[in-house]
Amino acid sequence: MNFSPINPVGWVRQISLPRPGIGDNTADAERLCQALGRELGNRQVRIDWRLLPELPQMLRQGDFCVKATVFPGREGLVVIGLAPANSHSLPILGLAVDIGTTRVAIRLVDMETGQNLGETSFDNPQVAVGPDILSRIHFAHSPEGASELAGQIRSAIGRESQALAQRAGFDATRILAASVAGNTAMSHLFLGLPTANMIREPYIPVINHPGSWEAHALDLPFAPLARVFVFPNIGSYFGGDLVAGIMQTGMDQKQEVTMLVDVGTNAEVVVGNRDWLMACAGAAGPALEGGMSRIGMTAAPGAIDRVSIDPKTRSIAWHTIENKPPVGICGSGVIDLAAGLFLAGMMDIRGKLVPEACSGRLLEKDGLLSLVVVEKALSGTGENLCLDQTDLDSLTRSKAAMYTILRTLTLSVGVEMQNLAAFFVAGTFGSYIDPESAVTIGMLPDLDRSIFSGVGNTSLEGAALLLAQAGSDEKARKIAGRITYLELNVNQEFMNRFSAAKFYPHTDIARFPSVAKKLGAAPAA
Amino acid sequence: MNFSPINPVGWVRQISLPRPGIGDNTADAERLCQALGRELGNRQVRIDWRLLPELPQMLRQGDFCVKATVFPGREGLVVIGLAPANSHSLPILGLAVDIGTTRVAIRLVDMETGQNLGETSFDNPQVAVGPDILSRIHFAHSPEGASELAGQIRSAIGRESQALAQRAGFDATRILAASVAGNTAMSHLFLGLPTANMIREPYIPVINHPGSWEAHALDLPFAPLARVFVFPNIGSYFGGDLVAGIMQTGMDQKQEVTMLVDVGTNAEVVVGNRDWLMACAGAAGPALEGGMSRIGMTAAPGAIDRVSIDPKTRSIAWHTIENKPPVGICGSGVIDLAAGLFLAGMMDIRGKLVPEACSGRLLEKDGLLSLVVVEKALSGTGENLCLDQTDLDSLTRSKAAMYTILRTLTLSVGVEMQNLAAFFVAGTFGSYIDPESAVTIGMLPDLDRSIFSGVGNTSLEGAALLLAQAGSDEKARKIAGRITYLELNVNQEFMNRFSAAKFYPHTDIARFPSVAKKLGAAPAA
């Protein structure tokens, strides 16, 4: 392991206390906690009661100079680790966790230096109960169901964090702090809380600010005093993963207005700056997550993630993840494909395949048109990889929903999309998507392409940030408190906006000048 | 049990929450906690995580009307009990505890009505290890010793509270909240904390504000979610028992200056009003607690608690506790006796027996004079009950120490004792003592006798008050925070003052005008 300097803004602090005297008879606990409180921005700090019996000796061994690990607990900030300063000690480990509905990502960090000690991801074991949130919520209707799902995710996190720690040369019992971000349902199911009311009007979670939990109460195999911080949510449909994402992008600190979009089956969007934050969420359908009839898949090896179509020859070129033979197509590939088809005139402005333009690539079965994207000779499945008209229709609805949500949100706050200083696209999707294609199909607004930035797994990054920066618990709390949630009212106005967005790129082509320009150059459909 | 109305300022509240709706999607936990927070003086309220799984159903069963028990926890105020409003339920029990060095007193209360359900007292089992604090602190020097002492007092409290609860028709597992007051050493030993540094300069406790503990962490057989509040101390020699006492007398709320004295081997004194509180503590010696050679005893059946001497006939009349045959004399009796001897001229102003005035009552052995207080024919021991000169000397030092402490404290704040609006004397001693005698010997200042009031076990009463008044945890914290502790500096000035007070009533008789008047009427020594 390389030498890393101590993280000066972290949760582990070396501190020198004023020595007690006849004129200063403050008790040991208050002496330590008051000094740490001053060090951490004048916040109240308490000490875990289990450290009290050894506290007097610890302070005097180190001549009132100690290394203390502070972290958010139920009791506010709490000292959970203590050693005489400069005593030889093993690293203090932290674990950042992003609980996705499908995948779970974890990262091990050295709490003292902030160093990344490794990360891994694995399937959410609850997938076996139900691939989607709804089926799990139904399963969790009984207390036994909720506790079974909680047990599944907790033991998977425990097992994987133990393996991760061991690869780094440690034991999971050295993990003293963890931070967990996930959507509201995943967070509730991790905590074993009932979710039934989250899917019934008016969609009420059990808790908005789960705060800190003791690791042993969650059956996690960490240190005896370990605490687990769970990011706050602001409702059933806007979870701690987004709050972590906002913290990670720093959009809550910027003067300029920026936007963060997390695209999946549900699209969650937040816009704002250091003065205000406005959020909404809505169903985008499964098309953007690779959830299409046969050809769709998530971004995994063998998934077509890039497609380009020569507008003149109409030949289709593709790229797969890890250059494996293609077995399906993921969200970014579908968007590229649709953009290419549209610009090549193979798909019309309604998103319908144009038979005369697709020539030899079209199949028809039971009146359903199907486009051969990859011929069986080249495919990894031994079959043609085909995209049919229903897949395209599904994409059309998804991209229209996405644009409508963005538009509704910006209209609600009176911000012009053109004035956004940055447009963050989170998640695996955000890392793979080509903004050029997304704008071409009218899913994202027609902004300067440099505005868009794929920011990766902001939920995991935000969770890691919480471990690295003392006070970030308070930051997360404030972000959650500042967000105004716009309940999407699916009324006539919204439906009109949605209908207009179901065209490529949009019925109002003036909103997409760069696409109009390309269409002028492309052969007419 | 009689019907008692609900205590409107207590910790158990019936509350009706705003129902959730599309425009108000606050989660269940925050909905409840925010409403309770408003109810309890805009304090932050959290909910015990173990109540979360049942919270949604509980709220909806009661149509968002619930009965909640809030109490101080580590996490601030915390909901530890919850039921749909008007559901039939057994009483919620609270236990007030005063841990004295010698005796422990407990009282069971109904947290909802405030009703007293019974009380009892028992010997502190640690007496077997050592009767005084010092020997226990030495015993607790090893962690095993500390944990053994903690185990003793906890199991005694557990056993006695179970018996007390059963006499009231309940089980101790219904005790949901407890509050514990005791001196700093007793509180530390109850919590299993090391006390070694409390007896070494600069006398540092482990913790000033122990706050709230989970009953199960203290091995107390209460409800699973039960919390135990431990009163704060302000140093090794001014404990939570005194803070509870200040709260009980309300001296921290009064405009006038009052004084509270708790007399034992150690004398603890506090003076002040709603603007300031000044305290000090000092050794008063064992004489006032009945710790004299052979005749001394604590206030128990058969102890002489009242003595009067006819100044003319010099005959001694006495009264015993429960009118049992006399077996010894307790603090209040000794003070009465000394006052009587002095006024009858049988003891001189230096506290020495006057042989010619004591005539037939004097014995002499090895040059030591001894006064027969009760002849063997009347005594419960079959022996003469004798007070010898060393006993009187011991009393002289104790009364002088007491007065010197009071004088030093009042001088330090520039308050004339004559201006005190009330003079509270706490403890068993305070209940038995005759202020007339105490003033006569110069132990207490010569104030209007109506100023003195014996206030009983203010430590237990304060602990009970904490259970009865929501917000009193904060009150206790504020009291502890407001007290300025005067470290008694035993310098030449103090010693001069002490020497002057070793005379009866004092070298400066002008300070005791009522005694001077009596002396004028009494025969000269």
Pairs across A and B, CB distance < 8 A: 129
Could you give the number of structural domains in chain A?
Answer: 2
Least confident of A99-113, A413-427, B116-130, B487-501: B487-501
B376 and B478 part of one domain: yes
Q: Which one, of A393, A409, A371, lies nearest residue A488 by Cα? A: A409
The nearest alpha carbon in chain A to B198 belongs to A27
Selecting from B27, B217, B235 the residue whose C-beta is nearest the C-beta of A25 gives B235
Alpha carbon of A335: minimum distance to chain B alpha carbons (Å): 34
pLDDT band at B453 (very low <50, low <70, confident <90, very high): very high
B491 touches chain A (CB under 8 A): no
The domain boundary residue, chosen from B38, B55, B84: B84
Based on the domain organization, do B309 and B260 belong to the same domain? yes
Residue B442: its pLDDT value, please?
A: 97
Among A230, A253, A284, the domain-final residue is A230
Q: What is the CATH number of the domain that holds A65?
A: 3.10.20.880
Given A32, A65, A84, the domain boundary residue is A84
Provide the pLDDT for residue B366: 86
Are A203 and A75 in a shared domain?
no
A516: contact with B, CB 8 A cutoff = no
Q: For residue B52, which residues of chain A lie inside 8 Å, CB to CB?
A: 191, 193, 206-207
Alpha-carbon distance of B463 to B244, in angstroms, equals: 6
Q: 3-state DSSP: chain A helix, strand, coil percent, rounded to 5?
A: 40, 25, 35
Query: How close B201 gets to chain A, by Cα (Å)?
Result: 7
Contact call for A56 and B213, based on CB within 8 A: no
SS3 content of chain B, % helix, strand, coil (to 5): 40, 25, 35
Residues A109 and A203 in one domain: yes
**B241 and B189 within one domain:** no
Q: What is the mean pLDDT of chain A?
A: 93
Could you say which residues from 11 to 50 on chain B have a Cβ atom under 8 Å away from some Cβ of chain A? 20-30, 46, 49
Residues 229-248, chain A, touching B (beta carbon < 8 A): 233, 235-236
Q: Write down the pLDDT at residue A1.
A: 41
Do B256 and B220 share a structural domain? no
What integer pLDDT is reported at residue B524 of this predicted model? 47
- Residues A212-216: contacts with CB within 8 Å, 24+ apart? A212/A71, A212/A72, A212/A73, A212/A74, A212/A473, A213/A74, A213/B49, A214/A73, A214/A74, A215/A175, A215/A178
Examine residue B6 and state whether it is found in any structural domain, yes or no: no
Task: Judge whether A338 lies within some domain.
Answer: no
What digits encode the pLDDT tens for the residues B13-72? 999 999 999 889 999 999 999 999 999 999 999 999 999 999 999 999 999 999 999 999
Residue A303: pLDDT above 60?
yes
Query: Each residue of A16-52: pLDDT tens digit?
Result: 999 999 889 999 999 999 999 999 999 999 999 999 9
Task: Quote the percentage of chain A above a pLDDT of 70.
Answer: 97
Listed in sequence order, the residues at least 6 apart from A404 whose beta carbon sits closer than 8 Å to its beta carbon are A282, A494, A497, A498, A501
Arithmetic mean of pLDDT, A446-451: 96
> Is residue B525 very low, low, confident or very high in pLDDT (cuts 50, 70, 90)?
very low
Task: Between B522 and B340, name the one with better pLDDT.
Answer: B340
Among A161-170, A429-438, B293-302, B348-357, the minimum mean pLDDT is found in B293-302
Q: What pLDDT is recorded for position B2?
A: 45
Which segments within A137-191 are labelled E, that is strand? Answer: 175-182
Closest residue, chain A, to B73 (C-alpha): A75
CATH code at B149?
3.30.420.480
In order, the DSSP letters of B362-395 are EEEETTEEEEEEE-TTT-SSSS-EEEEHHHHHHH
Predicted confidence (pLDDT) at residue B131 exceeds the cutoff of 80: yes
| pTM exceeds 0.90 | yes
Confidence of residue A298 (pLDDT cuts 50, 70, 90): confident
Q: Which structural domain, as residue segments, surrounds residue B74? A: 12-84
* pLDDT greater than 70 at residue A150: yes
Note whether B193 and B114 are same-domain residues.
yes
Q: Is B211 found in the same domain as B187?
A: yes
CB contact under 8 A, A207 and B20: no
Residue B1 binned pLDDT confidence (cut-offs 50, 70, 90)? very low
What average pLDDT does this structure show over B432-449?
95
Lowest mean pLDDT among A220-224, B81-85, B280-284, B400-404: B280-284
Dump the DSSP string for A284-313: --GGGGT-SSSSB--S-TTEEEEEEE-TTT
Residue A378's pLDDT band (boundaries 50, 70, 90)? very high
Task: Answer yes or no: is B5 within a domain.
Answer: no
> Minimum mean pLDDT among A360-364, A458-462, B52-56: which range?
A360-364
Q: Are residues A49 and A109 in the same domain?
A: no
Exposure of A403 by Cβ count < 10 A (0-12 exposed, 13-18 middle, 19+ buried)? Answer: buried
Query: Among B255, B229, B268, B276, which residue's Cα sits nearest to residue B429?
Result: B268
Band of residue B328 on the pLDDT scale cut at 50, 70, 90: very high
Q: How does pLDDT run across A45-92, given as a tens digit for each residue?
A: 999 999 999 999 999 999 999 999 999 999 899 999 999 987 777 899
Chain B residue with CA closest to A201: the answer is B22
pLDDT above 90: percentage of residues in chain A: 84
Which residues have a Cβ under 8 Å from the Cβ of B428 and sit 6 or more positions away? B298, B299, B457
**Chain A residue with the nearest C-alpha to that of B21:** A202
Tokens of residue B397, six digits = 């030092």
pLDDT at A525: 44
B1, part of any domain: no
pLDDT of amino acid B296: 86
**A207 chain-B contacts, CB cut-off 8 A:** 27-30, 52
By Cβ distance, the residue of B24, B146, B207 closest to A29 is B207
Is residue B291 scored above 50 in pLDDT? yes
Please provide the average confidence, as pLDDT, over all residues in chain B: 93
- Asked if A189 and A130 sit in the same domain, the reply is yes
Q: Are residues B346 and B253 part of one domain? A: yes
Please judge whether A53 and B235 are an interchain contact, meaning their C-beta atoms are less than 8 angstroms apart. no
How many CB atoms within 10 Å of residue A492? 8
Name the residue facing A207 among B52, B76, B197 (closest C-beta). Answer: B52
Does B217 reach chain A within 8 Å, measured CB to CB?
Answer: yes
> Three-state SS for A183?
coil
B88 pLDDT higher than 80: no
Q: What is the pLDDT of residue B407?
A: 94
Give the closest-approach CA distance of B322 to chain A in angstroms.
44
Instruction: Please report the residues numbered 133 through 162 in chain B whose beta carbons come closer than 8 angstroms to any beta carbon of chain A.
Output: 143, 146
Angle between helices B389-413 and B331-343 (to 10 degrees): 100
Is residue B29 one of the residues assigned to a domain?
A: yes
Choose from B207, B208, B243, B489 for mutation: most chain A CBs within 10 A.
Answer: B207
Q: Are residues B294 and B216 in the same domain?
A: no
Q: Which pLDDT tens digit goes with each residue over A469-503?
A: 999 999 999 999 999 999 887 788 999 999 999 99
List of chain B residues whose C-beta atoms are within 8 Å of the C-beta of residue A75: 73-76
Please judge whether A202 and B28 are an interchain contact, meaning their C-beta atoms are less than 8 angstroms apart: no
Q: What is the pLDDT of residue A290?
A: 66
Q: Does B412 touch chain A (CB under 8 A)?
A: no
A226 belongs to a structural domain: yes
pLDDT given at position B489: 75
Question: Nearest Cβ partner of A213 from B22, B49, B201?
Answer: B49
Ramachandran class of A350: left when φ > 0, alpha when ψ lies in -120 to 50, beta otherwise: alpha
The H-or-E segment that residue A95 falls in is strand A93-99
Does the residue B239 lie in any domain?
Answer: yes
Q: Looking at CA atoms only, how far is residue A188 from chain B in angstroms?
A: 10
Interface check for B202 against chain A (CB to CB < 8 A): the answer is yes
Strand order in the sheet with B368-374: B362-365, B368-374, B385-388
A209 touches chain B (CB under 8 A): yes
The answer to whether residue A235 is domain-embedded is no
A55 to chain B: closest CA residue: B206
Contact B346, B353 (CB under 8 A): yes
pLDDT > 70? residue B523: no
* Residue B192 contacts A, CB cutoff 8 Å: yes
CA–CA min distance B135, chain A (Å): 19
Three-class SS of B260-322: EEEECCEEEEEEECCCCEEEEEEECCCHHHCCCCCCECCCCCCEEEEEEECCCCCCEEEEEHH
